[in-house]
Amino acid sequence: MLGRYASLFEACPSGTADLNKFQDVKSLSSYAREPARWAISNGILQGDGKSLMPQNTCTRAQVVTFLYRYACLQESK
């Protein structure tokens, strides 16, 4: 969601993060790979260090954390 929102302001938000370091990368949908790479590269998404857990439901606290990190990212630009 944040990747699509960022695309309103950036021509093509992209990242350089290596998704293969996460053991559950194969369960990440193909359409979500580039937005996940962008979110990881920009410090918005971290997973638990070993997994991204793309099939899990986000808690309210996790969503707030993502929004906060995105807001901080925008302030730093």
With a pLDDT cut of 70, the percent of the chain lying above it is 96
Mean pLDDT throughout 4-33? 87
Looking at residue 13, what is its pLDDT?
Answer: 67
Please answer whether residues 53 and 24 qualify as being in contact, where contact means their C-beta atoms are separated by less than 8 angstroms.
yes
Count CB neighbours of 30 within 10 A: 6
Mean pLDDT throughout 37-52? 93
Looking at residue 11, what is its pLDDT?
Answer: 58
Please answer whether residues 24 and 10 qualify as being in contact, where contact means their C-beta atoms are separated by less than 8 angstroms.
no
More confident residue, 49 or 56: 56
Q: Convert the pLDDT of each residue in 59-75 to its tens digit.
A: 999 999 999 999 998 88
